[in-house]
Homo-oligomer: A and B are copies of this chain.
């Protein structure tokens, strides 16, 4: 806990430097997630003023040689860091893969994993690497079939059909993966074309006590001391085409990879991040925000807590269960903490009230301008009635969403049942998730499910959701479950649920991967003829679930009528172009290394060190620093890994970047286009920034590349990795 004088001084001068920076750059504005292939000139000018030495073409180009061309979609984000397809991403991005290769004998999560040669690299089951080849505006074609008289549900269907056709045409005869995404709530559509690599392998993951140091306690927190990094590698068939795992596959040679700068990043310095942020909601109305605060978060939090209670209980009782459900517990915990933080942020920052104020200003603007009033006067009422109607079904829909879709045996049955119906349709007529192109993905889901499956936990979670459904008021019945238990109550009802569960788990073969795979091949009729109890339950729930999905689609269709006009109106009032919300497509954002003040009298400096890692050590997880690292922390110097200004090895960095879920693993890139860090988290105050970015509080957290290299070298002796990075 003691703070060396040196560090104190460093902090003070850092703050002085910061003060100067703040004064010289009063208009610094890091909000915004921009499309790397179409960066506004103004943004380029801002970045160049701050230290960017690259032009647009060096950021992204059709030839694939820009820095953004080195960025890899992994669900989250990674980046190529060698000509041989080596990918740097987060420890927590690789977590699932490492969990799946762990057994009760070898716990690679705890120990870490290092392949000393290509031969030792092991498959990351279910992982894909997506490399963006191009992005094309297809708005005209998507919107061409829309007609004013269409219902919201029809509109949704027409847009879905158009995008499917565009994707089909784009993929036709090419070994690529395509998707069409909606921007600005539906006024712009881009067709993104990706190379999709299906053979991804684990190369090097540090031990949990480094990669997850601080664990859930430190999650979203600063100061941070987590070495949240890992290395994967993408492979390709020997014929140069994407291929499933095979020993004959060869490392993929990317058209672009990032060079590592051993300089790392320093206080006040400029940097960019490029990644795949999933979703922001910066244009939500007060009605949409109120829905989140009053219903959505509180209800999700309640359900997460009930699920965790069960999983903790089962994990305590049984080591096998603990290993099996570890990934799931981690996932739910992350979402719970996120939702709790969101709710707290909504309250602390008065998000709804702020938005109400903005809407008052908006209305006043309309009233002052008859033309604007004419064009946009209906908007806010439209949003209000849309969200009001949604609330009527929100609770049963949310329960159903978790019941059928969260990694339980029932979700496997739902998948098989729906597939048996969809497969009978023409490919283009299917739900997008069940088109031919998704078949390998569906199969993977069926296969990898086994690794996280633990029957008692699965059963207890199902029981919990059944009880949730049985407690719903009459107007919100979910017939497929409620119908089964009509008439029963009290202890009798509990017994009936028990027998129902007994029957389900004894009369199913879905708990075996082979059986699921073979059922995947069956026709609808043959699947039913299997008389599998879980398939039977899926059949009973099918209509309920389809009705839920239809309500969602209808809501989505109605939103496409309002949202583009709302953003258009706001842009018109603001007199400037607005950036589109994150939607899972590649984005670029710039920022600087910068501390912040979370509350009165408390100031956070932006760079943590190895000394800080050791200071947090208690010997008890998640603060159980490896012995070797403690020894290193005790040394007076660490050669090339010490930052001259810090006089210590840098660990994590606080920057002003605008990021969200999906950005995990994003490369942090300096003005020369070199890799200097790997983003892995936002700060606690950044959570509500998905709805409202706050210049003074929103921060991203990255691991400094020098800590990555230091750990690889001095702790894990990963010479082969360092050599491949070209830093040996």
Contact = CB atoms under 8 A, between A and B. Distances in A.
A13 B2 contact: no
A2 B349 contact: yes
Given A597-B8, A601-B223, A348 B1 contact: yes
Contact of A9 (B1, B22, B348, B685): B22
A2 B696 contact: yes
A673 B597 CA distance: 35
A426 B607 CA distance: 70
A601 B222 contact: yes
A573 to B, nearest CB: 24
B603 A605 contact: yes
Contacts of A611: 600
A1 B599 contact: yes
Contact of A16 (B8, B15, B223, B598): B15
A615 B606 CA distance: 24
Nearest to A15: B15
Nearest to A613: B600
B612 A7 contact: no
Contact of A3 (B1, B5, B600, B608): B600
A349 B600 contact: no
Contacts of A609: 600
A348 B623 CA distance: 14
A11 interface: yes
Nearest to A652: B601
Contact of A1 (B22, B598, B606): B598
A601 B597 contact: no
A612 B597 contact: no
Nearest to A26: B5
A611 B11 CA distance: 25
A378 to B, nearest CB: 33
A697 interface: yes
A342 to B, nearest CB: 14
Given A1-B348, A19-B12, A697-B2, A600 B608 contact: yes
Interface string A217-239: 00000110000000000000000
A1 B601 contact: no
Nearest to A1: B348
Contacts of A600: 3, 7, 223, 608-609, 611-612, 615
Interface residues on A, range: 35 or more
A615 B13 CA distance: 29
Contacts of A555: none
A22 B11 CA distance: 13
A11 B603 contact: yes
A694 interface: yes
A602 B602 contact: yes
Nearest to A4: B696
A604 interface: yes
A19 B16 CA distance: 9
Interface in A656-688: 685
A527 interface: no
A595 B595 CA distance: 17
Contacts of A606: 601
Nearest to A5: B696
Interface in A595-652: 595-609, 611-612, 615
Which of A7, A11, A595, A604 has most chain B Cβ within 10 Å?
Answer: A11
Contacts of A8: 22, 597, 696
Interface string A308-344: 0000000000000000000000000000000000000
Nearest to A618: B347
A347 B42 CA distance: 55
A599 B19 contact: no
A7 B223 CA distance: 21
A646 to B, nearest CB: 10
Interface in A562-599: 595-599
Given A2-B694, A16-B19, A615 B599 contact: yes
Nearest to A8: B597
Contact of A349 (B1, B349, B601, B604): B1
Which of A597, A608, A611, A694 has most chain B Cβ within 10 Å?
Answer: A597
Interface of A: 1-3, 5, 7-9, 11-13, 15-16, 18-19, 22, 222-223, 348-349, 595-609, 611-612, 615, 685, 694, 696-697
27 contacts: A1-B349, A1-B599, A1-B697, A2-B349, A3-B696, A5-B696, A7-B597, A8-B22, A8-B597, A11-B597, A12-B15, A12-B19, A16-B16, A223-B599, A223-B601, A223-B602, A595-B601, A599-B612, A599-B615, A600-B611, A600-B612, A600-B615, A601-B607, A601-B608, A602-B603, A602-B605, A603-B604
Given A1-B685, A2-B697, A3-B596, 17 more contacts: A1-B599, A3-B597, A3-B697, A11-B601, A15-B15, A15-B19, A15-B603, A223-B599, A595-B601, A599-B612, A600-B615, A601-B605, A601-B608, A602-B604, A602-B605, A603-B604, A603-B605
